[in-house]
Amino acid sequence: FGFQTAVQIATDSFDRLVTTAESHHRCMIMEVMGRDAGWIALHTAIAGGAEICLIPEIPYDIEKLAKRVSMRYKNGKGFCNIVIAEGAKPKDGSIVAQKGEKGSEHVRLGGVAYQLSQQLKDAGCKAEIRETVLGHTQRGGTPVAYDRVLATLYGVKAFELALENKFGQMVAFKNNEIVSVSLQEATERYNVVDKNNYLVKAAKGMGISFGD
């Protein structure tokens, strides 16, 4: 739980950037969290009607992106809005990361929006570009109703499992039901965006570019 709230915060922020991009004829790049998965970026791009959505699962071609941005201005649109996940990377490139706390192997992601901005400029894009990194704003604030209900249902299910002495289980939302799964099942596969996912196909159908 918390995903829907993060998407709502990101979408609200994106909507605000669209208006300033349009009024000042700029290309706005908004970076959202998600580590190795592009779910927040993908949902935000669809909800906000982004021109470009960049996610970790689909490495991007900077030359194609530069042409896409330049073409939008050439066609008289006058502005461009891009959503990029913090773990996105160019083809044959690497993620933007910093070392975590001393003694920890955890890598801290962030700053890819600035890298993309420079890459676009280096590729010959003449648009005036601005970057926004939402950072921790996506992780706080008031949860949307959906996440409140979901968290409550998770709590009830966890309590039921404890009463039944069923430990080593994780509560999950699966096929519109609150269920429990083993910790092994919960951790054996990382939940990333499949390139053939219906949301990716829908986004492409809307005209959103993934830079591939």
For position 103, what pLDDT does the model report?
58
Ordered structural domains, the chain, with CATH: 3-141+191-206 (3.40.50.460), 145-187 (no CATH)
Q: Where in 119-168 does DSSP place strands (E)?
A: 129-133
pLDDT attached to residue 18: 93
Give the pTM: 0.87
Contact 199, 43 (CB under 8 A): yes
* Predicted pLDDT of residue 209: 95
pLDDT value at residue 100:
56
Q: Is 4 exposed, middle or buried, given 0-12, 13-18 or 19+ CB atoms closer than 10 A?
A: middle
Say what the pLDDT of residue 137 is.
87
pLDDT at 74: 85
Start-to-end Cα distance in the chain? 31
CB atoms within 10 A of CB 191: 9
Structure tokens belonging to residue 101: 């706390």
- Splitting the chain (212 residues) into consecutive groups of 10 residues, what average pLDDT does each group show? 91 94 92 92 96 95 92 88 93 69 65 91 90 88 93 95 93 91 86 92 95 88
Per-residue confidence (pLDDT) for residue 6, from 0 to 100: 94
